[in-house]
Each structure stands twice: as structure tokens, then as C-alpha cells.
Amino acid sequence: MCGIVGYTGRKQAAPILLEGLTKLEYRGYDSAGVAVSDVLGKIVIAKAQGKLEVLKEKIDGGKAIQGKCGIGHTRWATHGVPNETNAHPHCNDDSTIVAVHNGIIENYAELKAKLQRRGYQFYSETDTEVATKLVDYYYKKYGEPLKAISEFALRVRGSYALAVMFSDYKGEIFAIRKDSPMVIGTSGGDCFLASDVPALLKYTKHVYYIENLQIAHLFDGQAQFFNLDREPVGVPLTEVTWDAEAAEKDGYEHYMLKEIHEQPRVVRDTVGYLLHDGNIDFSELMLTDEALAGFKSIVVVGCGSAYHAGVVMQYVIEDLARIPVRVELASEFRYRTLNLRGDELVIAISQSGETADTIAALREAKAQGLKTLAVVNVVGSTIAREADYVFYTKAGPEISVATTKAYSAQLIAGYLIAIKLAEVRGAVSSEYAKALKAELLLLPEKIESILAEQASVQQFAFHTMDKKDAFFIGRGIDYAVSMEGSLKLKEISYIHSEAYAAGELKHGAISLVENGTLVFGVLTQEGLIAKTVSNLLETKSRNARLAVVAFEDIELPQVCEKVFSVPRTDSHFAASLSVIPLQLYSYYLSVSKGNNVDKPRNLAKSVTVE
Ligand code: G6P
């Protein structure tokens, strides 16, 4: 979703802004723009519909706009169509106040009407123009940027990361956030701001994450922070452990392929984060064994793939730790009558830590007095900061919109939580717990062996690229993986695809199976394999084309056109292996179709609106 950047310092701003926006492209966008103030403080705005390349060309890679202070934006349309007029930055009538904004101003219509009554006119359909003109109104009233921004914050409902330049304050940027991420960095006389760390990594690894309703003032190589009463506040400096190379393609054609191949490392690091010398140590999470043992049930919330990782987590925790778990879509959870109990633990899963619905679900759980555990990839993100306990997945920066390595890391978090819960509750023998932990250490190698077979997946993708529909079926954990495989396919190949609990297919969806429909079966769960095979055969009788992902030693009927074998592992961990061929399949199908793999249409990496 929208990305913002800001720079003020000793260098020309426009090329730095464009570079920062390039690093945020993965978030998804449909137009882009920058604003730069020149030596006299005059602010020049350039915008373009479509890809950043169009904007880059328009301003000659930034050379056409001179000035050392600026802000930039990639817009993912919410209010108004994606065109140049609606693109950010937005400005007041004489372009003396210019702003970029992420998020949604919920009461923008009401504010717009009030401003119109005071003589303001509007050129765009956006809530951001309203935000900018509201700041203008208060600036004209009070003559002071901090006061104008704090008055803005008091009037506005919704979420925002807002960066503003005032031509009266040459070389200075003012910014505020509420429920939308913003990170600020300084380095040798330069100041940067962005909605996400990858935009800053090249310049600094020491960053400030401002809290909700804190104002940042960037000038003269320094960042100062204020509350809404304009009193100075301290914001801790955080070190980012990711390096700039981790956010580069590293010779791969797409980030997605690179990230798929990073999974052995990610799994190793995430296991190694808490598993030391045969012990799973949750002290890093500040979660004691006593507190863990006290939870009587668990609710897992997340969106998209994080929700799918939650479904796997549910099966694994219920089976190993013998504790009731329910998994909920965060967008549904936040608006339901929940009837939560005080002794429940709410686990919020999120790669970005900024997904609006997951944040809202977490807050709802906290408001009801429940303890919350975040499984999050981005250090310092909103969910990480607000949860009681945090499990950091070790995926590193994930750039491709369709998640792969972060999902894999979330699975590992689920296994470690499940084993730990099983241990503190005495639900598994120490021998079995030991065997499970030993098996976790073998997963990276097993994933590597699956990746080594990618050419065969590529071939199958090429031969099936004309398919219009696909089904993914399985039972138990195999069903959970089917959901993720199906989502990957829709996201990047634009093929209609559905995941079904294998036993449910004949209650409706089988009517859609016709000559040549592609049906994937996932077959790893002991006791359920024969049943799913029967369901596959039912589709074969209707002339479906069958492909399966299965443990290598499983006997399969001859009718399967393609078999993706994965090494055997403990069945609780099967998702970590069976998902790999499905990720590769979607990837290669998307490549075969010539799609924009890393930035699929209409999707955003981080969904910061509900
Ligand atoms: C978007 C992404 C998905 C992701 C979901 C949840 O839809 O495209 O890949 O699974 O958001 O994101 P989160 O950052 O909360 O894991």
C-alpha cells in the first residue's frame, strides 16, 4: 500500500526520494509523486500515473527538480481513481504547504464540507488534499507548523502517516503518524523518513519509530520529536539488523524466487532463535512457563497468508498441546461478539506488523483484558510494539508482495509455540518432544532438497499455463497448506483457484470440475491420505487433471499426472515442506504468463486500511 519517503540534507533530494520510492514499490501502488523545495523554499511538485518509471522519466531521474529537501509518495488508490490529479503530494492553493499521506482520513467528507464553508476549493477526490488544506487552515490561524499539525491531529479520525513541508520553513519536514507506520533515520547531516525500513537501509541502520500522535521535525541533520502539546519527547534509537543487500534481488530474476530460496536460512534462523541445546527458551519473548501453562485456550488472528499459517498453528497446537485453539480472520474477529474468556491467549500473526485489521483485532483483545502474543517479522512495527509478548520471525525483509519466506517463518513460530505449550502442560513425553525438536533442525536441509527439483515444477507450470481454474484439496494440515497454495496461485498467476477441505468438495464445488480442470491434492497426513486420494479419484472420474504433493514414500494411484515428492518429516511439520512446490508452481506459472510476479495487480504488501 502507499509508501512515503522524505529527505532533507546536503544532497539533491529528488534522486534520493525516487530511490526510496523504488525500495517501497513492493508495497503496491498505482501512481507516484515527489515535491522538492528549492534554495528559495519554493516547492515544485511532479506526479505521474502508473509505474515509478513514468515519473522518473518525467523528471529525468530527479535531475529536473533541484533542491535538497523533499517528500515523495507511491499511491494505492483509496479515495478517487488512480490518476495524476489524485496522486500525492497534495498542496494548498499557492503550493506553500505540501503533504504526502498514507492511511485513511475517515471523517474527510465532514472536514471537507467545513473547509468548503470557509472558502476552500478542492481539485482532487482525495482525503489527503483535505488533510493538507486542514493543515493549511490551522497554519494560517496559528502561524506555526507544530501547532497546525497538532490541531490537525485533534480534528482528524482515521489513520495517517503524514509528512508536510512548509515553504516558510526551508529545508524542514514535519511529520506525524497514527496507526500507520513511519520510520525516521539520521546520518551524517542527512535526515530521512519512510513508511518502511528498506527505503532507509542504504543510508542508516539506526532508526526512530515514532509512536502514535508524536510529531517529528527533521531539519539540519537532526530529528526532534514532540507530543501534541508540542512538548519535546524522547524516542529511542533502534538498530535495524537487516542489511541493505538482504533487500536486493541478489542475481535472482524476481524477489519472489530469491525469497523462496531463502527459506532454508529463514527456517534455520527462526528455529535457532529460541531453540538452544535442545531447549525452547521463551525468555526472549518475556513469556514465562507459568504464564504459558495458565492459558486455557488460544485464539489466533491474522489476514491472508498469516491467517493460513494460523490454521496450521491451530492443528499443530491442538494435537500436540491438547488445548483448544480457534483461528479467526482478523477482519471478522474485530467486529464479532467475541465472548472471550480472561484465560485465553490471543496470538496475532503478521509479517509487516502493520496490517490494519490485525492491529484492530489485537487492540480489541487487549481492550477485553486478554494477553496477546505477536508473531511478527518487522521489528518495531505497531503490532510488535503493542502486543504483550513478541515472537520475531527471522525472515528478514520480504519484498515480493506474495509472501513465501515470512509464511515459512510463521509456520516455525507455530511449531515452537506448540511444542513449548505441550511441554509446559505435560502433554507430550520428553522423548517425543526431543524428537520433534531434532526434526525441526532437519527441515532446512529438506527444504533445500525440494528446491533442487525446481526445474520439474517449472516444466509442469509451463504445461498448465492455459488453465482457467484450479482446486487444491487436502485434509487437516494438508487442507491448511492447500489454502496457502491456492492463494499463491490466484495472487500472482490470476488463475481462479479454490482450496477445499477434501471431504467438502462433493458438497458443492465438484460441480465445477470439468474436462481438464486442474486438481492439486496434498497428501502428507497419516490416516487421511487414503481419504483424500478417494476424493481426488472422484474428480478424476469427471476428467480432472491431477497433480499431488506427497511424502516421497507414499504409494499413489497411477492416474496422477504429476507428483511433487517431498521428504518425510513429522506430520506436524509437513506444511513446511509441502508448501514449497506450491510456491514454486505459482511462481513459474506467473513467469510463464508474463505477469508482474513481485507486484501483482491490485495487491499490496502491507494492507494498512481495513
Ligand atoms: C497482504 C499481503 C499478503 C499477507 C497479508 C497479511 O494481503 O499481500 O501476502 O499475507 O497482507 O499481511 P501481514 O503483513 O499482516 O502478514
Q: Give the distance between the most distant pair of CA atoms in the chain.
A: 79
Task: Give the pLDDT of residue 342.
Answer: 84
Per-residue pLDDT averaged across 306-321, rounded? 98
Segment 51-68, tens digit of pLDDT:
899 999 999 999 999 999
Decide if 170 is catalytic.
Answer: no
Per-residue pLDDT averaged across 541-566, rounded? 92
Atom of ligand 1 nearest to the CA of 604: 8
Task: Give the pLDDT of residue 244.
Answer: 64
Decide if 2 is catalytic.
Answer: yes
Cβ of 133 closer than 6 Å to ligand 1, yes or no, is no
Task: Give the pLDDT of residue 1.
Answer: 67
Is a pLDDT exceeding 90 seen at residue 508?
A: no
Task: Give the pLDDT of residue 610.
Answer: 74
Q: Closest Cα to atom 4, ligand 1: which residue?
A: 304
Atom of ligand 1 nearest to the CA of 603: 8
> Using alpha carbons only, what angle is made at residue 149 by residues 148 and 152, rounded to the nearest 5 degrees?
90
Pocket test for ligand 1, best of 25, 301, 305 (most atoms within 8 A of CB): 305
Q: How confident is the model at residue 556 (pLDDT cuts 50, 70, 90)?
A: confident
Cβ of 607 closer than 6 Å to ligand 1, yes or no, is yes
Is a pLDDT exceeding 70 seen at residue 420?
A: yes
Task: Give the pLDDT of residue 245.
Answer: 64
Q: How confident is the model at residue 75 (pLDDT cuts 50, 70, 90)?
A: confident
Cβ of 304 closer than 6 Å to ligand 1, yes or no, is yes
Task: Give the pLDDT of residue 335.
Answer: 85
Residue type, 179: D
5 CA from centroid of ligand 1 (Å): 21
467 CA from centroid of ligand 1 (Å): 26
Q: Closest Cα to atom 2, ligand 1: which residue?
A: 605
- Are 204 and 222 within 8 A, CB to CB? no
- Determine if the pTM surpasses 0.85: no
Residue type, 37: S
Q: Closest Cα to atom 15, ligand 1: which residue?
A: 350
Per-residue pLDDT averaged across 121-139, rounded? 95
| Average of per-residue pLDDT values in the chain | 93
Task: Give the pLDDT of residue 69.
Answer: 97
Is a pLDDT exceeding 90 seen at residue 80?
A: no
Task: Give the pLDDT of residue 305.
Answer: 97
Q: How confident is the model at residue 599 (pLDDT cuts 50, 70, 90)?
A: confident
> Using alpha carbons only, what angle is made at residue 521 by residues 515 and 522, rounded to the nearest 5 degrees?
170
Task: Give the pLDDT of residue 24.
Answer: 85
Q: Is 276 exposed, middle or buried (0-12, 13-18, 19+ CB in 10 A)?
A: exposed
Task: Give the pLDDT of residue 601.
Answer: 87
Segment 456-480, tens digit of pLDDT:
999 999 999 888 899 999 999 999 9
Q: What is the C-alpha separation between 158 and 180, in angstroms, rounded?
A: 10
Segment 166-193, tens digit of pLDDT:
999 999 999 999 988 899 999 989 999 9
- Are 301 and 361 within 8 A, CB to CB? yes
Residues 43-70 as b/e (b if ≥16 CB within 10 A, e otherwise) read bbbbbbbebbeebbebbeebeebebbbb
The set of cell numbers assigned to 182 is 513511519
438 CA from centroid of ligand 1 (Å): 30
Task: Give the pLDDT of residue 111.
Answer: 96
Segment 532-542, tens digit of pLDDT:
999 999 999 88
Helix 405-424 / helix 263-274 crossing angle, nearest 10 deg: 30
